[in-house]
């Protein structure tokens, strides 16, 4: 029995998480060796407006003994974003030392991309985003507040330990997958943090002579992701750079509705979080047209993490079938299907895949 903490959160979060839970519940029905207990935590902006806090003081303790966290989204026009994001999502990422933020960027067959002529062979990369440091570490200050000299300090934090562990994890992944690693940084302009990152990257790379490596400056990386996405196989970058570049990645893979992520604590001292990349999308909240695929794909990453990679693969195959047909796409992909219809289509595709001989599914 795996205990899953479910935090639907704000905006479209509950709408997409509902579909992921349905997919997971279906898998548990099909496979006698799998069962899930879902514990719901109603944290987010409504909770904040009622109680003054996004999650209870002892919230991390309530999550600690779960096998994984399934997260929707956070953020609402009713409360400032830095309050909502930092006091829920960042508390979990930092508190549970989720230093690997894994983000697959893949153009699925048949999905329209704004990059004319690009195919799914061109856009097939995995981003490893550092999750606990960089500009998002939360270090900083306001000086001379309320005066004309008001000054904001946002301190980027790059420790050797924090840099090395995420880079090393990336190389282990690259070795397993037989793929190259591209490091993205800005060592020319940032003479402390960028230089440390590059130095640690080179040191770790020397231990993996079997893995091909490249280094790119972040501005050039943005350009190449559009012009030559094929260059990128596995990419490792700091918190801020990978945050920005993976929204670009979501754009070229067909939109925010498709992109998934896993915030991992690789040592498994704490639970890991599985969530779509997108935010709470207040502009389409409650309309039944949010794309649940990013969330369902994150559930596939969760299945991998929990030791059911055969199911993780199958969910991704079911997603491929679903988005390949315009009839089972939401509006962001040019379709007319509702959120619920897309979720049901993924379950139907899973049932079809199960009925097919092994191997036939590998389309």
Cite the active site residues: 136, 186, 219, 243, 247
Site string for ligand NAI, 28-67 (x = CB under 6 A): ----------------------------------------
234-237 and 124-130 beta bridge pairing: parallel
Q: Which of 279, 312, 335, 343 binds ligand NAI (CB under 6 A)?
A: 279
Asked whether the beta carbons of 79 and 45 are under 8 A apart, the reply is: yes
Burial of 282 (0-12, 13-18, 19+ CB in 10 A): middle
Nearer to Mg ion, 22 or 101 (CB): 101
Nearer to Mg ion, 23 or 256 (CB): 256
Asked whether the beta carbons of 272 and 262 are under 8 A apart, the reply is: yes
Nearer to ligand NAI, 284 or 315 (CB): 284
Question: Which residues are within 8 A (CB) of 240 and not within 5 positions of it... i.e. 6 or more apart?
Answer: 134, 135, 136, 156
Of how many residues is the chain composed?
363
- Span from 107-115, 229-237, 277-285, 307-315 in contact with ligand NAI (CB under 6 A): 277-285
Q: Which of 207, 267, 283, 358 binds ligand NAI (CB under 6 A)?
A: 283
What DSSP letter does each residue of 226-247 carry, written as one string?
A: HH-GGG-SEEEE-HHHHHHHHH
> Quick count: other Cβ atoms within 10 Å of Cβ 9?
30
For position 243 contacting Mg ion by CB under 5 A, the verdict is: yes
Q: How far is the CB of 15 from ligand NAI (least distance, A)?
A: 9
**Binding-site partner at residue 283 among ligand NAI, Mg ion, none, CB < 5 to 8 Å by type:** ligand NAI
Three-point CA angle 43, 46, 50, nearest 5°: 100
For position 280 contacting ligand NAI by CB under 6 A, the verdict is: yes
- Backbone torsion region of residue 151, taken as left when φ is above 0, otherwise alpha when ψ lies between -120 and 50, otherwise beta: beta
**Binding-site partner at residue 213 among ligand NAI, Mg ion, none, CB < 5 to 8 Å by type:** none
- Span from 4-12, 160-168, 203-211, 238-246 in contact with Mg ion (CB under 5 A): 238-246
Site string for ligand NAI, 62-91 (x = CB under 6 A): -----------xxx-----x---x---x--
Nearer to ligand NAI, 138 or 282 (CB): 282
- Span from 88-96, 179-187, 237-245, 334-342 in contact with Mg ion (CB under 5 A): 237-245
**CA-to-CA dists, residue 58 to 13, 91, 271, 285, angstroms:** 23, 11, 15, 29
Angle between helices 309-324 and 293-305 (to 10 degrees): 160
d(CA 165, CA 309): 24
260-264 and 273-276 beta bridge pairing: antiparallel
For position 256 contacting ligand NAI by CB under 6 A, the verdict is: yes
- Span from 154-162, 203-211, 271-279, 305-313 in contact with ligand NAI (CB under 6 A): 271-279
Nearer to ligand NAI, 75 or 271 (CB): 75
d(CA 252, CA 52): 39
For position 7 contacting ligand NAI by CB under 6 A, the verdict is: no
The token pair that represents 56 in the structure block? 């209870």
Q: How far is the CB of 89 from ligand NAI (least distance, A)?
A: 6
Q: How far is the CB of 285 from ligand NAI (least distance, A)?
A: 9
| Strands, E assignment, 28-133 | 36-40, 68-73, 100-106, 124-130
Tell which positions 325-354 bind ligand NAI, by CB under 6 A: 332
For position 249 contacting ligand NAI by CB under 6 A, the verdict is: no
Q: Phi and psi at residue 190, in whole multiples of 5°?
A: -100, 90
d(CA 79, CA 89): 15
Q: How far is the CB of 78 from ligand NAI (least distance, A)?
A: 10
The token pair that represents 236 in the structure block? 């490792």
**Binding-site partner at residue 243 among ligand NAI, Mg ion, none, CB < 5 to 8 Å by type:** Mg ion
Residues in contact with Mg ion by CB under 5 A are 243
Query: Which residues would be at the binding site for ligand NAI (CB under 6 A)?
Result: 73-75, 81, 85, 89, 256-257, 275, 278-284, 290-291, 294, 332
């Amino acid at each position: 029995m795996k205990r899953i903490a479910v935090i639907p959160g704000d905006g479209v979060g509950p709408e997409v998480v509902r579909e992921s839970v349905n997919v997971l519940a279906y898998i548990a029905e099909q496979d006698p060796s799998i069962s899930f207990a879902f514990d719901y935590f109603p944290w987010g902006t409504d909770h904040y407006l009622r109680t003054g806090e996004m999650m209870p003081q002892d919230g991390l303790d309530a999550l600690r003994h779960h096998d994984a966290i399934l997260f929707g989204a956070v953020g609402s026009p009713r409360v400032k974003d830095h309050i909502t994001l930092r006091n829920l999502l960042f508390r979990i990422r930092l508190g549970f030392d989720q230093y690997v933020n894994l983000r697959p960027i893949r153009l699925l067959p048949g999905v329209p991309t704004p990059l004319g002529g690009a195919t799914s062979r061109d856009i097939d990369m995995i981003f490893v985003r550092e999750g606990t440091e960089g500009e998002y570490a939360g270090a900083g200050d306001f000086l001379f507040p309320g005066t004309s000299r008001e000054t904001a300090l946002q301190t980027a934090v790059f420790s050797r330990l924090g840099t090395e562990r995420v880079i090393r994890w990336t190389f282990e992944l690259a070795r397993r997958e037989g793929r190259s690693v591209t490091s993205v940084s800005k060592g020319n302009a940032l003479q402390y943090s960028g230089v440390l990152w590059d130095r640690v990257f080179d040191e770790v790379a020397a231990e993996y002579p079997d893995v091909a490596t490249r280094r790119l400056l972040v501005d050039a990386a943005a350009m190449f992701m559009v012009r030559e996405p094929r260059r990128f196989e596995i990419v490792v970058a700091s918190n801020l750079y990978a945050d920005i570049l993976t929204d670009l990645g979501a754009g070229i893979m067909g939109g925010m509705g498709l992109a998934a992520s896993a915030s991992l604590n690789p040592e498994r001292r704490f639970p890991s979080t599985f969530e779509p990349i997108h935010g709470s999308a207040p502009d389409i909240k409650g309309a039944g047209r949010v794309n649940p695929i990013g969330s369902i794909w994150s559930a596939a990453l969760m299945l991998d993490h929990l030791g059911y990679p055969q199911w993780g693969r199958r969910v991704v195959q079911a997603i491929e079938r679903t988005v390949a047909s315009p009839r089972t796409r939401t509006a962001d992909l040019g379709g007319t299907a509702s959120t619920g219809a897309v979720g049901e289509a993924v379950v139907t595709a899973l049932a079809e895949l199960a009925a097919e001989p092994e191997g036939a599914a590998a389309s």
